Amino acid sequence: MNFKIIGTIFIIVSLASCSLPKTDLTPDQSSIRETINGQVIGGDNGETHQWLGLQYGSIPDSRFRWKKANTPASWDGVKETLDFGPSCIQRGSLINTSKRRKWGDMVGSEDCLYLNIWAPKMNPENLQTTAPMPVMLWIHGGSNVSGNADFYNPSALASEHQLIVVTINYRLGPFGWFRHPSIGETSNDAVNASGNYGNIDTIQALEWVRSNISGFGGDPNNVTIFGESAGGYNVAALLSSPLAKGMFHKAIIQSGGIKPGDITHSESFLEENIPWKNYTSRELTNRLLILKKLARDREDAVSVQNSMSDEEITALLRGASSEEIYESFEASRVNTNEMLRPFPDGVVLDEEGILNALKNGASSDIPTIFGTNRDEIKLFLVGNKRLVRYFFGLPRIRDLQLWNAISSHRSDTWKFLAVDNPVRELSSLGRENVFAYRFDWDDEPRKYGEDLSDLLGASHAFEIPFVMGNFEEDTLTRYILSKKNMNEVKGLSGTMMSYWAEFAYNGDPGKGRSGDQLKWRSWDESTLESPKFIILDSESDQGIVMSSSSITRESLFSGIADDPNIMDYKMRCELVDIAIRYDNVAADDWLNKFSNGLCENLDPYIEWRHFWYDEDDRPY
């Protein structure tokens, strides 16, 4: 095993902030529940009842690929729901299989639309006399190319705060986001032509919840959607979807974003490898033609594809195996770190984009929490050999000041784009039901000869176990936690769960369910000193405090320009360029006027590859 692979495993282990919930369940008669398809029986995990592997959509074979899933078939008798359903197709890793021999292989199934339910333990006869409980539906992250619902264990959140928590799978990669003109032309309706199949799945899961959750003690009229990273993006997509209107009532976006996909790009041939652009359906089809020996090379594939009818291309794409589609997808990706983004198609998503929908669309009155982690980007920079060297496969920061400077600017960029900028706009419209947070916990121990609080800090995804309340000894969090501060960790987790639960109950995190926490105020843009967001940190650091600071485009760029720890002006230009690429501003105008024209003569493509790609021409 080479050092880079060992380092990659280290990153995955660090990222794995949750645990695979135990599935050694036996049927519990008190967990028999009724769904519209038939009766189910779950199990008792000690804290809650749980029902695993409930199918909410069916994709029986490739003829149903890139369509809204079918309604699952009904059954007679009582069906056991004690095991998770298959994950959606992706590469095997620590987060989706415990079988190490499967790591790197393609795993999962196209027929993968399953959900899981955790609920406080209750006898069936008490369902009629107990007040319906709020429902929280979790959408996992993974760049929309990886991840699965069974990686998360929300038992503590459900049991401690009398909530129904649902986790879902949804189609990933080219099966979840794929917009080829021929698929659109041969589709029988606009939904199937949208390209947003992963988002259609999340809507179908909400439809299932609306029809069935009352049978589990949940309130279909009080549903909160929450998700992290790509899951946060998909929460934002639901907020912009006219098809999802009325299916949920509150939303939490954890480390997500609002930038949509590019429809024109996704349907085009990619004439040059631009690192900040994603794969396209045309290029995937080119790779498939070559793979199936219907074309000699890319030039020939373009010619062949252009000569084919829409019906022939659709038959080719739907007739290919899952493995062939996925192999063609991976071969056609330029930037493997770039997530797949929902398309503003005007049917599944607002055609004016997510921010417009938040301001004026179907979700303009829905209470929403936006948040990021202070050191989001550190997790993604651990593999950058220009910043981190590897000693026997373990990472060592080369220059701590430069490391902190770059990670701070890029994490601030994430916060500006995902939180401060959209929330500021919503607040300026008079919205008083928009809240924001920053997760600052960074009390990791020193391990492997490196201080993990420097290397990782409050990194991407590290808030999840605090929200779920899962810190069992056998979980992967043991790699980033210390027994010495476990009381503080659990204290912060309890506070965060209480805020999240109170928001699910009442649309305002307020003082938490306990009623004795610091009041979490909505973002207030009325003065510079007004509270903007809450900081979530351990008591030994700053604790829980409201902050009046905020990041603007101007402060972000001036901070980069004036940072004495970044001496390479090309690096400064690239930090600004990265921010611009994910913003809705005129890129060339902002880049050219940055620092009095410092970046005017740089070729973004060449300079991007200079710093953000490794010696093997792979992006970090």
CATH number for the domain spanning 528: value is: 3.40.50.1820
Domain boundary at 527, 551, 575, which? 551
Q: In the numeric block, which tokens belong to residue 59? A: 């994709």
Tell me, yes or no, whether 572 lies in a domain. Answer: yes
Alpha-carbon distance of 530 to 525, in angstroms, equals 7
Any domain includes 93: no
Eight-class DSSP state of 366: S
Same domain, 434 and 304: no
Residues 575 and 529 in one domain: no
DSSP string, 90-157: EE--TTT-S-GGGTTSEE-BS---EEEEEEE---GGGTTTSPPEEEEEEE--STTTS--GGG---HHH
Structural domain ending residue among the three candidates 551, 577, 601 = 551
519 and 537 together in one domain: yes
In a domain, 403, yes or no: yes
Q: Looking up tokens 């040059």, which residue turns up?
A: 272
Same domain, 547 and 559: no
State which of 276, 301, 332 marks the end of a domain: 332
The H-or-E segment that residue 175 falls in is helix 173-176
Element (H, E) at 79: strand 78-80
Residues of the chain with pLDDT under 70: 1-23, 95-100, 272-278, 473-479, 584-593, 595, 603-620
Burial 104-120 (b: 16+ CB within 10 A, else e): eeebbebbbbbbbbbbb
Same domain, 602 and 558: yes
pLDDT value at residue 1? 32
Q: Is residue 179 part of a domain?
A: no
Note whether 410 and 534 are same-domain residues: yes
Answer yes or no: do 328 and 454 share one domain. Answer: no
In a domain, 164, yes or no: no
pLDDT in tens, 258-309: 999 999 999 999 876 555 566 899 999 999 999 999 999 999 999 999 999 9
Does 170 reside within a domain? Answer: no
Q: Are 611 and 575 in contact (CB under 8 A)?
A: no
Q: Which residues pair with 282 in a beta bridge?
A: none
What sign does the CA torsion over 288, 290, 295, 300 have?
positive
- Residue 162 contacts by C-beta under 8 Å, 6 or more apart in sequence? 120, 133
- Are residue 479 and residue 606 in the same domain, yes or no? no
Bridge partners, residue 613, by sequence: 619
Model pLDDT, residue 97: 66
Same domain, 394 and 426: yes
Q: Summarize pLDDT for 20-54 with one digit per residue, the tens.
A: 555 678 999 999 999 999 999 999 999 899 999 99
Q: 486 and 560 share a domain?
A: no
Residue 580's domain comprises 554-612
Please check whether residue 543 lies inside any domain of the structure.
yes
Clarify whether residues 481 and 510 are in a common domain.
yes
How many distinct structural domains can be found in the chain? 3
CA distance 370 to 427: 12
Quickly list H helices, 370-485.
378-381, 400-415, 421-428, 452-455, 464-468
Contact call for residues 267 and 275 (beta carbons, < 8 A): no
Rounded CA-CA distance 515/499 in Å is 10
539/577 same-domain check: no
Phi, psi values for residue 88, rounded to 5°: -75, 160
What is the C-alpha separation between 531 and 190, in angstroms, rounded? 43
Within-domain flag for 463: yes
Buried b (16+ CB within 10 A) or exposed e, 29-65: eebebebebeebbbbbbebbbbbbbbbbbebeebebb
Query: Would you give the DSSP letter of residue 510?
Result: B
